[in-house]
Amino acid sequence: MYPAIRDILFRLEAEKAHALSVNLMRIGGSLAPVRLLLRKWFDVPDKQVKAFGLTFRNPIGLAAGYDKDGLAWRGLDCLGFGHIEIGTVTPRPQEGNPRPRLFRLPEDRALINRMGFPGKGAEFVARRVNKPQPSKLVLGVNLGINRDTPLDSAGDDYISLMRTFAPLVDFLVINVSSPNTLGLRSLQARDLLEDLLQGLRDERDTLQEQLKRQVPLLIKLSPDLSDDELDDALDTITGNNMDGVIATNTTIGRRDLVSPVAHEIGGLSGMPLSKLSTEMVKKIHARTAGKLIIIGVGGVMDAQGVREMLAAGATLVQLYTGLVYQGPGLVARIMKEL
Ligand SMILES: Cc1cc2nc3c(=O)[nH]c(=O)nc-3n(C[C@H](O)[C@H](O)[C@H](O)COP(=O)(O)O)c2cc1C
């Protein structure tokens, strides 16, 4: 049935179609009978995974960027995700980049976005996640800095967000890899990352003591790092005792695309990213001797993509663009095939 719905959605401007799907999931997720129906429809077998002190009902998660403001996660939970990462959330609300800023590349099974962290800000999102959590869902929040925050104050933004969200969710992700906030990705360089992570590690340790539980802190990486840059980042990440990495965010690379909008500026996701991100997961796994937990993301469109990510060394896998092209039954289909 989804191909017919997708045809209708794809006639709408990409961001409008996205907003419509978020709204449907928000409304559906707020109604107990609809949640029950969705769960029955998208019946997903359990295949538990344990990582950083948490138990996931299955390895498939929803990547950041779909539910930026934490509006729809209760509905999305009914599609069978083992975990959902909401955000990116910034401390203060902001508009993001001018529209259009999201483009479909159907011929390439891809998207390009230059959203620039539009969102309602931390206070709003904290109210949205401070609701009873379905008992099996693991919820994470992806944290970013406001556009007008100078890079040398980035740590202050991340720390204020950690304080807001650590008591409310299961894990936190530091986003230093979005290509759509000027300069953000330079925080992955050794010296800047070292300064940043020292502060964040101390804050995480304090929060763990206060909350008397583990507060997993993960770093989301860009697929565009060179081998040397990746080595530097991994040294710093393991040296500061981070709980894991998410590999990868979108790429600014444009190889072998055929869609007419391939020249649009922004981050590319979907099928053309698959090889790059899977290779990156392989490298991270090899260079950290399998000791760093990796969430693999980028171009996962089906069960085969999940298998490849897991074989490359990922413990958990996320997807976003696959959901746009394959529809809400994707997690159920994958888990039945795995
Ligand atoms: C429209 C859109 C918005 C995104 N927004 C965010 C974001 O706010 N924060 C983030 O860390 N990643 C964001 N991403 C990146 C995804 O989380 C993911 O890393 C990337 O799309 C690769 O996975 P995919 O090929 O399965 O989509 C976004 C991706 C898309 C397509």
Å from CA of 210 to ligand 1 middle: 32
Cβ neighbors of 64 (< 8 A, separation 6 or more) are 85, 86, 87, 88, 142, 173, 175, 220, 320
Can you say whether residue 125 is alpha, beta or left, with left for phi > 0 and alpha for psi between -120 and 50 degrees?
A: alpha
Per-residue pLDDT of the chain (338 residues; tens, 9 = 90+): 788 889 889 999 999 999 999 999 999 999 999 999 999 999 898 999 999 999 999 999 999 999 999 999 999 999 999 999 999 999 999 999 999 999 999 999 999 999 999 999 999 999 999 877 777 899 999 999 999 999 999 999 999 999 999 999 999 999 999 999 989 998 988 889 999 999 999 999 999 999 999 999 999 999 999 999 999 999 999 999 999 999 999 999 999 999 999 999 999 999 999 999 999 999 999 999 999 999 999 999 999 999 999 999 999 999 999 999 999 999 999 999 99
Q: Is the CB of 299 under 6 A from ligand 1?
A: yes
Residue 115 confidence (pLDDT): 97
Cβ neighbors of 94 (< 8 A, separation 6 or more) are 117, 118, 119, 121, 146, 147
Å from CA of 336 to ligand 1 middle: 25
pTM of the model: 0.97
Question: What are the angstrom distances between the C-alpha of 93 and each of 67, 119, 190?
Answer: 15, 5, 30
Q: Is the CB of 297 under 6 A from ligand 1?
A: yes
Contact 298, 221 (CB under 8 A): no
Distance CA 201, CA 237 (A): 10
Q: Supply the residue whose CA is at minimum distance from atom 29 of ligand 1.
A: 65
Q: Supply the residue whose CA is at minimum distance from atom 11 of ligand 1.
A: 64
Q: Is the CB of 64 under 6 A from ligand 1?
A: yes
Q: Is the CB of 273 under 6 A from ligand 1?
A: yes
Q: Provide the annotated active-site residues.
A: 178
Residue written as tokens 């979108």? 250
Q: Which domains does the chain have, with CATH numbers?
A: 2-337 (3.20.20.70)
How crowded is the C-beta side of 48, counted as CA atoms within 13 Å? 5
Å from CA of 212 to ligand 1 middle: 32
